[in-house]
């Protein structure tokens, strides 16, 4: 994965990004992960203590969750893992709300109009690099 490497000899950049915890050290950085999208927007920041390693599976899960959320215009529930159901965006009109309630009644895919789920339209599990296939119940 290509990424820029920045020389920060005096720690000025690290200080601006909060990577140096003065409670721990005046010169050493804590372990930071910045997930920045292709538009240059910081989407997630993870900060680990100096003596704790980063969790690469969690970092990959966050990237997959962000990509899945963007692709499906949805949200991810707590403890979401790739290819599991996602939370639909709330309806924008009363007619959409009524349609959502009817869909929930028929498909039993939610609790109410503000919390309903669907399978993502496109999902690739990075651990296998294979598009997830679901067995639909009949």
Write a three-state SS string for 1-31: CCCCCCCCCCCHHHHHCCCECCCCCCCCECE
- Considering the segment(s) 56-131 as one domain, its CATH architecture is 2-Layer Sandwich (3.30)
SS3 state at 108: coil
Q: Give CATH 3.30.1020.10 domain extents, the chain.
A: 56-131
The fold of the 1-54 domain, in CATH, is Glutaredoxin (3.40.30)
**96-115: pLDDT as tens digits:** 999 999 999 999 999 888 89
**pLDDT higher than threshold 60 for residue 129:** no
Cα dihedral across residues 16, 18, 19, 25: positive or negative: positive
CA geometry: angle 101, 109, 100, nearest 5 deg: 20
Residue 119 has pLDDT above 80, yes or no: yes
Contacting residues for 90 by C-beta, under 8 A, at least 6 apart: 113, 114
Distance CA 138, CA 136 (A): 6
Distance CA 35, CA 60 (A): 10
Parts of the chain belonging to CATH 3.40.30.10: 1-54
Contact between residue 109 and residue 103 where contact means Cβ atoms under 8 Å apart: yes
Average pLDDT of the residues of the chain:
83
**Residue-wise pLDDT tens digits, 53-89:** 888 899 999 999 999 999 999 999 999 998 899 999 9
| pLDDT beyond 50 at 137 | no
């Amino acid at each position: 994965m290509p990424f820029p490497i920045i020389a920060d000899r005096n720690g000025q950049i690290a200080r601006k990004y909060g990577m140096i915890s003065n409670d721990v050290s005046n010169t050493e950085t804590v372990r930071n992960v910045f997930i920045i999208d292709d538009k240059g927007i910081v989407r997630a920041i993870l900060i680990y203590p100096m003596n704790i390693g980063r969790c690469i599976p969690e970092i990959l899960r966050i990237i997959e969750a962000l990509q899945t959320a963007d692709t499906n215009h949805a949200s991810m529930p707590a403890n979401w893992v790739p290819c599991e159901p996602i939370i639909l965006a709330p309806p924008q009109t009363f007619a959409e709300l009524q349609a959502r309630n009817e869909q929930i009644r028929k498909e039993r895919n939610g609790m109410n109009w503000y919390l309903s789920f669907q399978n993502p339209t496109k999902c690739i599990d990075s651990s296998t690099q294979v598009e997830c296939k679901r067995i639909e119940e009949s």
